[in-house]
Structure 1
Amino acid sequence: MKTALTAAGTLPAFWPDRDRHAARWDELAADFAGSEARCTFWSSESLSQAGPARIQYLADRLGADTRIVLTLRPLAPLLVSQWQEVLRRRGTVPLEEWLAGHFDAVRPDGTVVVDPPLPMPQIHRFSLRRVIAEWGAAFGEENLVLVVPAPGDRRGNFRVFEALMGVPEVLAPPAMDNASLPFPEAEMLRAFNNAYTARGGDHPTWMFAMGTIARPRLRELAGRATPYGITAPRWAAERGNDYTADWITAVRESDATVVGDLDHLLVDPDAFPERVEVPGNVSVETAGQLIDIAFAAALDQGRRQRDAAPSDDLSAHGSRDLAREVARRVRRRVTRR
């Protein structure tokens, strides 16, 4: 992910080892562009954060004849999924307020009406009109492939990629899916984020501890906890359809290839609740597990910081090194006199 964020030009400034990530990106780009394999494939959702200038840069590095494949899903459920991911990056805003803010930031035609932060506003990032205009300009609209699986078909994307790469049915879901936290546990994490932020907690520490170290255990907890789905309210489904209808028009007027039915990106608003009830209680068992995950991550992060810090303990140095340093300081003092 960090290699892809480097390629997209959106790697957060606080991440360490930026030179190492840049070197990995340079190596990957060279391997990709120079590959003599029948088919070379690189997948990362983080590439979608690239802006126009960076997209052209990617075309220059990877080859303008590269095919760009996007897997698509309806906007309202996609935004709910993104909100849950934002909670894992110290998000503090309630679901409906977060949804309203993102809809207000971008018009259906792709016009951004707020100063775009990095990464770009979520809806602008997912806009098919933007994809056609920006990625199509750099790689050619004819090299864009948009994949729309049928609702409920969890294996459709696998079959499409197998066909694109010319391989038999070899792809299967991972042993541990990228499960999201149930709504009560997600709200508890948001409350924790608010408390951490209110007392002046810094973002890099949170990302290293909770966003990185704790992430696997949070995923395990999501698989064990009592299911409690998170859904968008009806108004968000209706607004999502308005945006999607405009995007479908842009795709149909382009030279992009569509695998599947674009109408599957539209949802039935009546299938969404008019009002989303936010849970105010969480089970004692999972609350205890969440506290343990956060505590263990904080301890681990503290240990890593101590290990990385230069030591002032003389016992960490050998006697020969100490004697050499003493002699050096004596010579320097004699020279000064």
Structure 2
Amino acid sequence: METDCTRLPAGTRLLHIGPHKTGTTSIQGALFAAKDQLPAHGVEFPGHTRHPMEAALAACARPAMMGDIAPTDRHWTTLLQQVHATGGRTSVVSSEFFADADAEDEETIGRIVEQLGGDRVHILVTLRPLAKIMPSQWQQYVQNGLRMGYEEWLEHMLRKAPYEQPNPSFWRRHRHDRLVERWAGAVGPERVTVVVVEDRDRGGLMRTFEALLGLPENLLQPVPDTANRSLTLAETEMLRNLNKEFRGNGLPDELYSRLVRNGAVMHMKNACSPTPQDVKISTPRWAVEAAAGIGAEIIDRIARMGVRVLGDPAPLSAVPEPAGQEPQEPRIAPEVAAQALYGALAAAAAAPVRHTASAKARTVHQTSSVELVKVLGHRCLKKLRRH
């Protein structure tokens, strides 16, 4: 453990690679909100959005989220142009999707580093305990179409070799020692900083970024983002069962992206905040202990790599005390379900379908619900493609 958060050399190109669920959205929002103030302190936050997700996916040759438009080299080239336009000033690029770079393709990481600035690039990795990451990642995978329940998913990730199904990206991102090793191999351990995020100190990550970049204390402030909140267990289970119906009826992925993830789920998260009565996603004891064991291995390997570690790594291998609460049946509030349904309807209404064909003789009431859903899906997809 180190406490010396020495400022990075002027002109550094700081690449924050996440991984997912380690405070990335929070720091991206804070940097973007302070974008106009940063140049006065010799720092730039290139890009016109909070998160250059498409650019990172394109750079790592990874697919888009289910149903989204595939990223192209243009996204990555545009970000590179914005980075190079910062000249000799310090610049920051942050995307957790850089952690998705193929573990078997060292050339990809080397190319990313070289294109960003070669020996000017410094890699920043933020870490949280696996036991806290796993429930967040599961519900995020459900938001991308996963149909597997949490405990079954944990069985696959922790007990069923080769631990890659149904989400091979999980350990590519969250076997943190291997992640650090891959990027240290491209830039050297002296140009890698690992920050252990302390959940109890919500401003700690902001202060660490300020120290590394030479910014005034408290310049970076959290930006509320309801769209990034985690789903409750009931919300996730509702969505997971919808995923089963969606896949079972063979509807197009583009429809899922538009109506479900960016319609129903997004509106539900923005309109409804979890209450103390909502049941959270709970990780069984055996999985918590297994995650802590892996965390201990991760700490040990990172400690021997020669990279700088800021913060106390002990929580990464700790087994937290059980909450001691009685198991509760997850129930979704009627207003939450209504907001989700409204979000889907609003997304569909935003791209109304023009009816050019003559009406069929069969009425709606004479048509099965499965057929109606397919017709709606194909019509919305046709409209999306026209746009």
TM exceeding 0.5? yes
Counterpart code for 2:337: A
Cα shift at 1:216: 3.3
Q: Aligned to 2:245, which of 178, 184, 195?
A: 195
Aligned CA distance change for structure 1 residues 270 and 14 (closer, same or farther; 3 Å): closer
Mapped to 1, the partners of 2:247 and 2:142 lie a distance apart of 13
Aligned CA distance change for structure 1 residues 203 and 50 (closer, same or farther; 3 Å): same
Output one character per residue of 1:140-192: Cα deviation in whole Å (capped at 9) or x when no partner. 11111111133411111111001111111211111224211221122111111
The SS at the match of 1:46 is: helix
2:140 maps to 1:85: yes
Residue matched to 2:221: 172
Cα shift at 1:269: 4.3
Cα shift at 1:309: 5.3
Instruction: Considering fraction of residues, name the structure with more helix.
Output: 1
Counterpart code for 1:43: S
Mapped to 2, the partners of 1:302 and 1:83 lie a distance apart of 33
Aligned CA distance change for structure 1 residues 89 and 152 (closer, same or farther; 3 Å): same
Mapped to 1, the partners of 2:246 and 2:292 lie a distance apart of 36
Residue matched to 1:55: 109
Residue matched to 2:152: 97
Cα shift at 1:37: 4.2
The SS at the match of 2:309 is: strand
Structure with max Cα Rg: 1
Aligned CA distance change for structure 1 residues 216 and 36 (closer, same or farther; 3 Å): same
Cα shift at 1:50: 0.5
Aligned CA distance change for structure 1 residues 231 and 308 (closer, same or farther; 3 Å): closer
Cα shift at 1:281: 2.9
The SS at the match of 2:94 is: coil
Counterpart code for 1:164: L
The SS at the match of 2:229 is: coil
RMSD: 2.8
Task: Give percent identity, aligned residues only.
Answer: 27
Cα shift at 1:234: 1.0
Residue matched to 1:10: 62
Mapped to 1, the partners of 2:350 and 2:205 lie a distance apart of 37
Scaled by the length of structure 1, what TM-score is found? 0.79
Which piece of structure 1 moves more, 159-168 or 30-39? Answer: 30-39
Mapped to 1, the partners of 2:313 and 2:191 lie a distance apart of 18
Cα shift at 1:219: 2.2
Aligned CA distance change for structure 1 residues 130 and 17 (closer, same or farther; 3 Å): closer
Aligned CA distance change for structure 1 residues 302 and 11 (closer, same or farther; 3 Å): farther
Counterparts in 2 of 1:14-163, with a 5 A limit? 15-16=68-69, 18=71, 21-33=72-84, 35-51=86-102, 52-65=106-119, 66-104=121-159, 113=162, 120-163=168-211
Mapped to 1, the partners of 2:83 and 2:89 lie a distance apart of 12
Tell me the matched-pair count. 301
Give yes or no for contact 1:4–1:47 (8 Å, CA) kept in 2. Answer: yes
Give yes or no for contact 2:351–2:384 (8 Å, CA) kept in 1. Answer: no
Residue matched to 1:248: 299
Cα shift at 1:295: 2.8
Residue matched to 1:237: 288
Counterpart code for 1:85: Q
Gaps of 5+ in 1: 107-112, 312-337
The SS at the match of 1:223 is: coil
Scaled by the length of structure 2, what TM-score is found? 0.70
Cα shift at 1:236: 1.2
Give yes or no for contact 1:213–1:297 (8 Å, CA) kept in 2. Answer: yes
Counterpart code for 1:129: D
Cα shift at 1:298: 3.6
The SS at the match of 1:68 is: strand
Mapped to 2, the partners of 1:90 and 1:302 lie a distance apart of 24
Residue matched to 1:264: 315
Give yes or no for contact 2:60–2:108 (8 Å, CA) kept in 1. Answer: yes
